[in-house]
Structure 1
Amino acid sequence: MNPILLILGALVLFYSVSLLVLMAGFARLKRAAARRSPAQNHVPSLSIVVAARNESHHLPRLLDCLFAQDYPAGKFEIIVVDDRSEDGSWDILQRAVREHPRFRALHVTDLLPDFAPKKRALDLGIRSASGEIILLTDADCSPPPTWARAMAGCYTGETNIVLGYSPYRFDQPVPFLVRRMLALDYLSLAAIAAASAGWGRPLTATGTNLSYRREEFLRTNGFEKIKHWVSGDDDLFVHRAAEDGWGRFSFATAPESFVPAAAPSSWRQFANQRARYASKGRDYDLRVTLGLLAVYLLNVSLVLGVVGVVGGMSAWALPVFLVWCAKSLFEFLFLVRVAFAFREQRLLFYFLPTALLHPWYVSIFGFAGLLGRFRWKGDDFRKTVEPRHVRNLQ
């Protein structure tokens, strides 16, 4: 048999088995959530921490959402750290400080050569916080009033980190089909996070909806091990927490805990976001990196196979079609469980066009992530914030 076909078969077998393992992990997560019984007499104190840079157009909505949280007033505080904003964000925060006693605003005015801007802002906010539990979201998000209570309810005596889901919120006009496909793709990332959390080792996480115990953050010196990476205040941090023995992880599956996040409003924004996501892959645990490499090679192989068939290699048509069918079947079986659990089953109608495009954009953005160049909040970055890699565009 052709060795290339053997390799392709091995890759799709690995991918299919991996998805079966994730399905089992999600089932474990659901069973654990059903058994969970938080302490009835203890309401943990919370500190909601947000890092914001040039977010004047998003901050009013975010602050309204945070001030409307259905949580005991004496048990939570809100801290927003302004990271070098130039658009009036600081003025908005100052007005909020005067009007709301539970609100604090901190201001970062410079860059450090070895500390990623967002991580530094979050670190400052977390270290100045007083709550037992840190709740993180982004400035372009709109947490529902039930968010803080739902996330706090996921903590038992042994739980130290709770991950959450952030469905896309579309503020700009986007073609309907594209909107649904983007939402399904984003759901797939949350599905991987939830399913792997069921095994006690989350593969990914999102900073738009994440929480952990403050004492554990301080005990392990926070972002110290990953502070030079521009991205990764969520997934890389969770990986390091697992390595440092933080204990039990959980994932909030109740819709009351979901935090809508602004979707990319342009192709350039989407490309930069995905390149930023992919840029961290080489700093993951070696086993995770090798697994991601296998998945990447599978997608690249499918793309090259399609190109070969179009170029006249008709013998490749059936193997490529069968591999794509197997890949898509196991993806659907995995996603259907999560979609129904998260009440996102309407997105499954758009699975087919998303599955057709998936190998192409994984191949493109995986390569872009290796290059490590992307733009974030007005600055051009590579993967790390070494001085030669940062150029302030202000």
Structure 2
Amino acid sequence: MMFVILTIGFLYGSLIFWFLLGMKKIELFESKGLKAITKFSIIVPFRNEAEHLPALLDAINTIDYPESMFEVLFIDDDSNDNSVTIIEHFINANTNLNLFILPNQRQSNSPKKDAITTAIDRTKNDWIITTDADCILPPKWLHLLDERIQSKQPELIAGPVTYLSEHKFLNQFQLLDLHSLQGITIGAFGWKRPFLCNGANLAYKKEAFYDANGFSENDTIASGDDIFLMEKIVKLYPEKVDYLKSQEAIVYTNSQPDWNSLIHQRIRWAAKASAYNNSIGKTTALIVLLINLYLVVSFIGAITLLIPFSFFVFLMGFKLIIDFPILYKTASFFKQKNQLKYYLQSSLLYPFFSFYVAIRSFFFGYKWKDRKFIQ
């Protein structure tokens, strides 16, 4: 058993170090003040987002980009609150902007993928950007994407995403977890082996979407509108996917409001993991699962006196040391280093949380936007 644990520890440490080196390969991107030439179509699927829409709409109103060069398509996924009314009032008050609201055309088991497909078929511009209704968009967002497109000529660009910070442990727990995912995302892009991205800040050519045959082959899975599409585009254009590492391009979103919502979110994420086609992604998920599993097992063994408690302390200490550098670099990039004061508590809880989610994902479905989905 000791040999197995040491092997997993070595693999985990090597993996995190590999991602850390990859992060260094992507430099901060700064605007050079180039003239805007790219036209964008921003897609915002929504369902019952009346609480969050005002912040998004205010952010759209402050986007610093020629108004004639972008449009925003809001796709209503059968909302039953006053989301549609809020957007309609905004459209009527901002006739200078190209704003549209459309009903979702359901075709598959994935409402969000259907919403994006519905919108893309109606877009006028060559570049698609997806975001979420609970996001806050930065003013220079489109300018930075445009300059990155001009300099790199990519087919897809992934952008940085973080949570709005709150003085609650649940929020800080999620924020640190997202930092780890963002660090892994950046690191994998640095090695040109991407397998993660976030649909709250994702841009791609409309032609690339159609070349990849959209969301076909995975439209039975409710989530994954970002990762599965990126996988297909990477296969078609392995050298044409890019990461926009800019603090002025960070999209902020809301964390889950309670533990139950967070658990359902993570079960939803786990539901798509088995369909990943990327070997790096699958290997990473397996190694992370195994080290967290061994932490849980060693803790149970320690409290039942089957193994020395010092063994659990050693294994947890090892993981704390290995994880900290990549979290520190990511938190520094997002200017959220203050959240690292929750690092110890979050790290102690995370193995048990992830183990619980993994067990539940095998036996139960999940709720998303007031809908139930069966695994």
Q: In the aligned structure 2, how far is the partner of 1:329 from the partner of 1:210?
A: 32
Maintained 8 Å contact 2:134/2:254: yes
Displacement of 1:200? 1.7
State percent identity of aligned pairs.
26
Is residue 305 of structure 2 the alignment partner of residue 308 of structure 1?
Answer: no
Change in Cα spacing, 1:320 to 1:162, as seen in structure 2 (3 Å) is same
Q: In the aligned structure 2, how far is the partner of 1:15 from the partner of 1:152?
A: 37
SS in 1 for 2:148: coil
Change in Cα spacing, 1:250 to 1:84, as seen in structure 2 (3 Å) is same
Q: In the aligned structure 1, how far is the partner of 2:261 from the partner of 2:207?
A: 35
Q: In the aligned structure 2, how far is the partner of 1:374 from the partner of 1:368?
A: 9
Partner of 2:163: 168
Change in Cα spacing, 1:41 to 1:259, as seen in structure 2 (3 Å) is closer
SS in 2 for 1:351: helix
SS in 1 for 2:76: strand
Change in Cα spacing, 1:77 to 1:241, as seen in structure 2 (3 Å) is same
TM-score scaled to structure 2, two decimals?
Answer: 0.92
TM-score scaled to structure 1, two decimals?
Answer: 0.88
Partner of 2:288: 295
SS in 1 for 2:237: coil
Maintained 8 Å contact 2:296/2:351: yes
Maintained 8 Å contact 1:169/1:260: yes
Is residue 115 of structure 2 the alignment partner of residue 118 of structure 1?
Answer: no
Q: In the aligned structure 1, how far is the partner of 2:84 from the partner of 2:18?
A: 46
SS in 1 for 2:73: strand
Candidates 12, 16, 19, aligned match of 1:15: 12
Partner of 1:149: 143
SS in 2 for 1:162: strand
Displacement of 1:372? 5.6
Partner of 1:193: 185
**Which aligned pairs between 1:100-119 and structure 2 lie closer than 5 A?**
100=95, 101-108=97-104, 111-112=106-107, 114-119=108-113
Residue deviations 1:62-86, cap 9 Å, x none? Answer: 1221122100111111111111111
Partner of 1:353: 345
Maintained 8 Å contact 1:26/1:194: yes
Maintained 8 Å contact 2:171/2:256: no
**Which aligned pairs between 1:1-394 and structure 2 lie closer than 5 A?**
4-30=1-27, 33=28, 40-41=34-35, 43-99=37-93, 100=95, 101-108=97-104, 111-112=106-107, 114-155=108-149, 156-169=151-164, 176-245=168-237, 247-285=239-277, 287=279, 288-315=281-308, 317-371=309-363, 373-383=365-375
How many residue pairs match? The answer is 371
Displacement of 1:232? 0.2
Q: In the aligned structure 1, how far is the partner of 2:216 from the partner of 2:32?
A: 31
Unaligned 5+ residue runs, structure 2? Answer: none
Q: In the aligned structure 2, how far is the partner of 1:123 from the partner of 1:247?
A: 25
Maintained 8 Å contact 2:162/2:178: yes
Displacement of 1:42? 5.1
Q: In the aligned structure 1, how far is the partner of 2:363 from the partner of 2:133?
A: 28
> In angstroms, what is the RMSD of aligned CA positions?
2.2
Maintained 8 Å contact 2:295/2:351: yes
Q: In the aligned structure 2, how far is the partner of 1:290 from the partner of 1:254?
A: 28
Residue type at the aligned position of 2:356: I
Residue type at the aligned position of 1:22: F
Displacement of 1:380? 0.1
Residue deviations 1:78-98, cap 9 Å, x none? Answer: 111111111122233333343
Unaligned 5+ residue runs, structure 1? Answer: 384-394
SS in 2 for 1:279: helix
Q: In the aligned structure 2, how far is the partner of 1:257 from the partner of 1:278?
A: 28
Maintained 8 Å contact 2:231/2:278: no
Q: In the aligned structure 2, how far is the partner of 1:76 from the partner of 1:247?
A: 26
Q: In the aligned structure 1, how far is the partner of 2:259 from the partner of 2:115?
A: 27
